[in-house]
Structure 1
Amino acid sequence: MLAKNILLGGALAAVLSLSFVAPAAAQTTPGTPVATKVSLSVLTELPALSQVRMSPDGTKAMVTLGGGNDFVYALLDLINGGKPKVIASAETYKEAGQKAIAGYRWVGNRYILMTLNSREAIAGQRVDLSRLVSYDTETGTSTPVAWRDSTGGAADVLYVDEKNLRILLARGVDTGNTEMMFRDRVEWVDIVSGKPIEIVQQPNPVVGGWAADSNGVVRLGFGGDRDTGEERYLYRSKAGEPIQTVQRVIDKDFAGGGLRPAMFLQEPDMAVVTSNHEGFNAVYKANMRTMQIVSKMFSAPAGYDVDGVITDINGSRLLGYNFTTDRPRQYFVDPQLKQIKAFLDESFGKDNALIVSRGEKNQKLIVALSQPRQQPSYYTYDTITGQMQLIGYASLTIKDGLMNPVEAIRYKASDGLEIEAIVTRPRLRAGQGKLPVVVLTHGGPYGVRDNADYDQWAQSIAEQGYVVVQPNYRGSGGYGREFVKAGRKDGFGTRMQDDLNDVVDHLAAKGEVDPARACMMGWSYGGYASARAAQRDPQRWRCTIAGAGVYDLPMMRSYDQGYLGSFGANYLAKGANSLQEVSPALQTKTNWSPILVVHGVRDPRVPIAQGRTLVSRLRSAGKVEGVDFAYIEQPKNGHYGIFFTKEERLEWLGGTAAWLNKFNPAYVPTDADYAKKPDPDPDVVRMAARLFGGGGGTAGGGK
């Protein structure tokens, strides 16, 4: 670690007076193209370095280190270097009682406040709890913070008082009142002892969460009714006043409604809010007492939403905005950060350098460098000297190597709607046309999107020789309210499904892909879309791979009545004549494309019953395992990608590659580069043995 240095523009001694020495010509990030094929074992590794957070004085950093199947959390000495000091380990929690560190922040230069999530068995149900732990970097001791009497959530930090080493914490508390035990109480808590000091806000029966201003005063309460869909905001101008309802919204289209406060301003009753009432999410100044907009403060480039605002630690100063076009971007209004950002853009290319952590007065920063085809490399940046020093890489093997190129494209759906998609092209087959294509469909479906950055799944499949395309089909997030509503109008399995077909036609018309060599894969909603493709359009798809998908929509709606409430359960299909009509598991007697089904037994979002039901009905319909379908159950998988172990990633992506190779080989004799095809990947060969016989394991077996 701390092994590489870059000097930007000489000694930038005048940085704090906003004077920079710019390089003579625009540059880009360090790194050279990777020349040979990378094994799937390497591509499926957990991030070796992530969540880099600098102490205020810039001398230390808290980091997440990945290796094998789990993560550890460590301190780095940014001044003297040396080995990381591991201070905690937490598994990607699968079993009751296991804990995962969800995040951390510095409180002063001595203490780190960590958020722990744990999955507990309570009354026969798996329940996720959140807690805080403070870590003293000088003594190496950890202290539970306000654990006693806490119920579900006890990790919502509203304000950090660094001078007095205390936090304003909202948490559920068991006081014997069963109706209020999961409604948050707000109190000052000492992080050194972990003990509550003073209660400042008692629970409110209609408030699910609280927000404080930059003076540590609770000003806002918010909550929602799972059955009616009503979202309510309650507000007070100052401490001691009664809190009153100022906004009620029912978002029937699940497209985002009303004003959403982001930070309080020093002016009476004024706040920074986000809203999409003009069609796209933008940032406004508004009066919280009247909920009236005063002025617009910022909007993203045409056709895109703003993601949110950037503030200092307690929301006392607005520093900038986050938004996503083809990839995540930052725009700073703080003069110092704005000029630093401009200098980084000029040095490394537009938005190839993202500021991920800041020290006091922005004298030292943590910067993540990456082109779209790179995994991030993390550097310290001293704005006084202009020196950048390497901390480490997200991948210890690939480092800053350039992998398969990634770009955003636009295409017209068959009804004329313009859609953005992300394309990852196989670098080892550069310049060749009519290649096989895999449509990688994101989950959600509503409000979620893919970006033109390094994607582990897309890179892993492109490395096998396929063009990978990730359509941000109608209903995806980031493209305005009407785009989401278009997905709601033509929902699951109808026009949204057509968008996935149309992108293949678009690339085929350009000569990039062969439409007769197309497959689809995806997880969650992407798993549903893959099963729907196999069932609805088997003539189009050589095969599909469906992970953690919803296949029986009436069954899922019944589950979601409890999981999301009767209103929340309505996010499912709209536009179809019936849920049954667009449920693949209810239409298994027709001709299907070959489908690989993968599901986690411990999935809390899409129950394992969905995967098992689909497989059972495929069997009952006479479909043959290893020919028409195969099934992999992952005993500990819990749905969300961040918690995948390496073993699970390798099983999922190795199984995908083996299924593709069987039904839609990346290299066929008519390809110009057939004679140069790489040797088979050992992990793909191993998964093929599991799926098609001779390798043992649980493939196709079901449990």
Structure 2
Amino acid sequence: MLTRRLVIAAASTAPLFIHDAFAADGDKNDKAAIVPPSIDELLKGAEVLDTALSPDGSRVAILIERLVKEKTEALVVFYDTSGKGDVAKPVRLGQMQVEQVEWANEDRLLIWTRMEKDPKGRPTGMDFYGEFIPIPVRRLVAIGADGADAVVLFNNQKGVLKRQFNLANVVDRMNTDPRRILMQIWDVKTECETLYLVDVYSGEAVFYERGSTFTDGWDTQNGVPVIRYDSNSRGTVVSVYARAPGEKDWKLYRKVRRNELKKLPDLDFVAPTPEPGVLLMLTTDEGADMPTIRRFDTKSMQVGEVFSQDAQRPIDGVFFDEAYNALSVSSVDDRTNHRFLDPKLAAHYKGLNNYFGNECNVRPFDVSRDHKRFIFHVSGPRHPGAFWLYDVEKKDLELLGESRPWLSPERLAPMKTLKVKTRDGQTITAYLSTPVIASDKPRPMVVLPHGGPEVRDTLDFDLFVQTFAAQGWLVLQPNFRGSGGYGKAFADSGRKHWGDLMQEDVEDAIAQVIASGAADPNKIAICGASYGGYAALMGAVRKPELYKAVVAIAGDADLVETLAFSRSEDGADSDTYAYWVKTIGDPKTDKAKLIAASPSERAAEIKAPVLLIHGTEDTIVTPKQSKIMAKALKAAGKPYELVEMKGVGHRDWSDDNWKMLLTKSVEHIRKGFA
């Protein structure tokens, strides 16, 4: 049986009490007094940002950030896992913003810091074609396990410290070299990504290796680069190079597509192995429906024997220890699951999932060298995230900290899985979130199709979902055909069906919820980003009487223009352009279908007011798409608003961007429901 204890840490001037996010509600909550979170509460920065377990498992570092008298203060709590003596020692870092922690070795802790203003209080950033773009300055600090002897890394490179915004990219912790780590920086002189060996005691950095003009980064084993990634200007076509330990020259292995989530869906090196030059690669075999993890040899550049496969669900990663021993293989169904390779650890993991009611994503986050202590990160629709320490021998579970304790489960909307029967007899999965305030009437509903489209939604915490549910609205997330995460055949079933079959699946999910009596058929809105933005616009074309408001964030509107943009930016012979031709349609043979599936060509059919939001520096979906849609809506005499986010790309939105997006979306939908 699992036991549970709470870690309670206190600093002399700023006490921290870490609450139990998973305690039963019982009678402590007056349901009538429950107040859903505001947008500001949802976006408020986390208090417990990160945790790290020392290699021998004897200590945990807990990174905390708090606002004290309108100034951000940070501290690290060093927690002794033995429970003896003064088990929790807080070390105040002062007025700074922090991001994460990691042990460089048993004695030195790395702390990632962020500064958004210079010493004179001026915002950090750069001028970009007459616009000032805020850019935070990131630095890496190493301190002793007692909080003393702090050094800023790269302190011997004064010019680099002065010029660089980001000096916090650790490529390899180099477990075989306790004194040094491998870091990557952008060399402004050569305009290349460059590797440096950095001493975590002195902070001194020494040049190690330079990439090409196109290099994004490297995969390494014990400080030896074995895979290098070079990409085009948009980052959508990646050349993957391999080099075995001891070799000098890089060899091109493959050119592959990078998706909007910045992942390589066609191959992904998910873990190193203890064998030099051998990695574990996630790939889908010819004719297979589900991906497989195989061994890859950088010397022969051959894909070898199967390490793991699952015929029922897509596997997507490997959790491994500091010696590169694989401990578990992860897969995603409705929730994230880990199949531990050691049956004893598998039994412990099953017990942990049972403890959390089999309703959360329980992810291994860190592990001691002897595998006796783990940190797990736990999240779910009503749990924004918490770190838990688990002692395998004692079966002892301790809450290290919640990221946002003010977002207690009873304030957040629960999410349930729906099995939706489509009009052609198939079954798809959707998720329905219900506001916490009770109602005996059908509710307004916001439909939230995901981006990609070859990704999927899962049962987890979502900002858009909780924002909309807090307004008293149902939120529906359909995993329509063409989504990822269900195998190759399911993804392929959406190819060239953006304007029909994929839209029908969304419509069928809506119809099922309306038929159940949960949703008010007169108050339906649709909102999405990227492909989801396209789906929102096309949904309004197909069902003009259904939707009362439409929000399209960075969405495609003209599919012929989408393909032309990819062809011009990625190249007519690129994997990326070939993928989009296969997925959307061929402009040579499918042009009529592409035009019919383009919302901008059918703007006159839309009745609901449309809100268009787009970043001006979006390189994935060109901002021209929203301008085309705005022009078409204006010509058709339809109500619309176009909001441009200056200097903003496709993703990686700032808190200010998020607040604007959520606030504008809520206001727009509320007006539509009025």
Q: Residues 127-176 of structure 1, C-alpha deviation per residue, up to 9 Å, x if partnerless?
A: 98996523324244433476856989876544223554212334444565
Helix, strand or coil: the match of 1:460? helix
Residues 45, 68 of structure 1: 8 Å contact kept = no
Distance 1:337 1:253, change over 3 A: closer
Question: Where do residues 493-642 of structure 1 align in structure 2 (5 Å cutoff)?
Answer: 493-553=499-559, 567=574, 568=576, 571=580, 574-575=584-585, 577=591, 580-600=595-615, 606=621, 610-623=625-638, 628-630=639-641, 632=643, 639-640=650-651
Matched, 1:331 2:325: no
Distance 1:206 1:606, change over 3 A: closer
Counterpart for residue 411 of structure 1: 420
Counterpart for residue 50 of structure 2: 52
Residues 31, 400 of structure 1: 8 Å contact kept = no
Greater CA drift, 266-275 or 501-510: 266-275
Alpha-carbon distance, 1:411 to partner? 2.1
Q: Residues 41-68 of structure 1, C-alpha deviation per residue, up to 9 Å, x if partnerless?
A: 4653335345422241424223466899
Letter in 2 for 1:323: S
Q: Residues 648-691 of structure 1, C-alpha deviation per residue, up to 9 Å, x if partnerless?
A: 545443443444343336xxxxxxxxxxxxxxxxxxxxxxxxxx
Counterpart for residue 248 of structure 1: 254
Counterpart for residue 294 of structure 2: 284
Letter in 2 for 1:48: A
Match of 1:166 among 180, 183, 189: 180
Q: Residues 81-103 of structure 1, C-alpha deviation per residue, up to 9 Å, x if partnerless?
A: 5877355745xxxxxxxxxx775
Q: State the alpha-carbon separation in 1 of the partners of residues 417 and 256 from structure 2.
A: 34
Letter in 1 for 2:503: Q
Counterpart for residue 140 of structure 2: 133
Distance 1:364 1:58, change over 3 A: farther
Distance 1:257 1:593, change over 3 A: closer
Q: State the alpha-carbon separation in 2 of the partners of residues 250 and 311 from structure 1.
A: 26
Q: Point out which structure has higher relative CO (alpha carbons under 8 A, 6+ apart).
A: 1
Q: State the alpha-carbon separation in 2 of the partners of residues 639 and 69 from structure 1.
A: 31
Counterpart for residue 467 of structure 1: 474
Greater CA drift, 468-477 or 235-244: 235-244
Counterpart for residue 644 of structure 1: 655
Alpha-carbon distance, 1:225 to partner? 5.7
Q: Residues 266-309 of structure 1, C-alpha deviation per residue, up to 9 Å, x if partnerless?
A: 4476432211112212222344444555433323461x311211
Alpha-carbon distance, 1:440 to partner? 0.9
Counterpart for residue 104 of structure 2: 107
The percent of aligned pairs where both chains have the same amino acid is 22
Letter in 1 for 2:407: I
Residues 365, 380 of structure 1: 8 Å contact kept = yes
Q: State the alpha-carbon separation in 1 of the partners of residues 307 and 673 from structure 2.
A: 50
Q: State the alpha-carbon separation in 2 of the partners of residues 258 and 637 from structure 1.
A: 28
Matched, 1:78 2:79: yes
Letter in 2 for 1:366: I
Match of 2:671 among 654, 662, 677: 662
Query: TM-score scaled by structure 2?
Result: 0.76
Q: Residues 311-335 of structure 1, C-alpha deviation per residue, up to 9 Å, x if partnerless?
A: 124x621121222110222222256
Alpha-carbon distance, 1:504 to partner? 1.0
Helix, strand or coil: the match of 1:596? strand
Residues 72, 86 of structure 1: 8 Å contact kept = yes
Question: Where do residues 675-686 of structure 1 align in structure 2 (5 Å cutoff)?
Answer: none
Residues 45, 67 of structure 1: 8 Å contact kept = no
Question: Where do residues 358-437 of structure 1 align in structure 2 (5 Å cutoff)?
Answer: 358-359=367-368, 361-383=370-392, 387-401=396-410, 403-429=412-438, 434-437=442-445
Alpha-carbon distance, 1:538 to partner? 0.7
Distance 1:337 1:471, change over 3 A: same
Distance 1:535 1:606, change over 3 A: same
Counterpart for residue 669 of structure 1: none
Letter in 2 for 1:629: Y
Alpha-carbon distance, 1:366 to partner? 3.3
Letter in 2 for 1:409: L
Alpha-carbon distance, 1:194 to partner? 4.0
Residues 49, 394 of structure 1: 8 Å contact kept = yes
Distance 1:266 1:652, change over 3 A: closer
Counterpart for residue 307 of structure 1: 316
Matched, 1:343 2:340: no
Counterpart for residue 682 of structure 1: none
Q: State the alpha-carbon separation in 2 of the partners of residues 249 and 220 from structure 1.
A: 13
Counterpart for residue 97 of structure 1: none
Counterpart for residue 8 of structure 2: none
Q: State the alpha-carbon separation in 1 of the partners of residues 259 and 375 from structure 2.
A: 39
Helix, strand or coil: the match of 1:505? helix
Distance 1:285 1:604, change over 3 A: closer
Distance 1:615 1:87, change over 3 A: farther
Alpha-carbon distance, 1:565 to partner? 5.8
Helix, strand or coil: the match of 1:544? strand
Residues 372, 407 of structure 1: 8 Å contact kept = no
Q: State the alpha-carbon separation in 2 of the partners of residues 68 and 526 from structure 1.
A: 40
Residues 393, 400 of structure 1: 8 Å contact kept = no
Distance 1:84 1:362, change over 3 A: farther
Q: State the alpha-carbon separation in 1 of the partners of residues 38 and 234 from structure 2.
A: 45
Count of aligned pairs between the two proteins: 615
Helix, strand or coil: the match of 1:319? strand
Counterpart for residue 454 of structure 1: 461
Letter in 2 for 1:217: V
Letter in 2 for 1:62: L
Letter in 2 for 1:285: R
Helix, strand or coil: the match of 1:376? strand
Structure 1: runs of 5 or more not aligned: 1-6, 12-27, 91-100, 666-703
Helix, strand or coil: the match of 2:459? coil
Question: Where do residues 229-248 of structure 1 align in structure 2 (5 Å cutoff)?
Answer: 232-240=239-247, 242-245=249-252, 247-248=253-254
Alpha-carbon distance, 1:256 to partner? 6.1
Q: State the alpha-carbon separation in 2 of the partners of residues 398 and 496 from structure 1.
A: 34
Q: State the alpha-carbon separation in 1 of the partners of residues 533 and 504 from structure 2.
A: 16
Distance 1:534 1:287, change over 3 A: same
Alpha-carbon distance, 1:497 to partner? 2.5
Q: State the alpha-carbon separation in 2 of the partners of residues 494 and 134 from structure 1.
A: 53
Q: State the alpha-carbon separation in 1 of the partners of residues 664 and 69 from structure 2.
A: 19
Greater CA drift, 455-464 or 369-378: 369-378
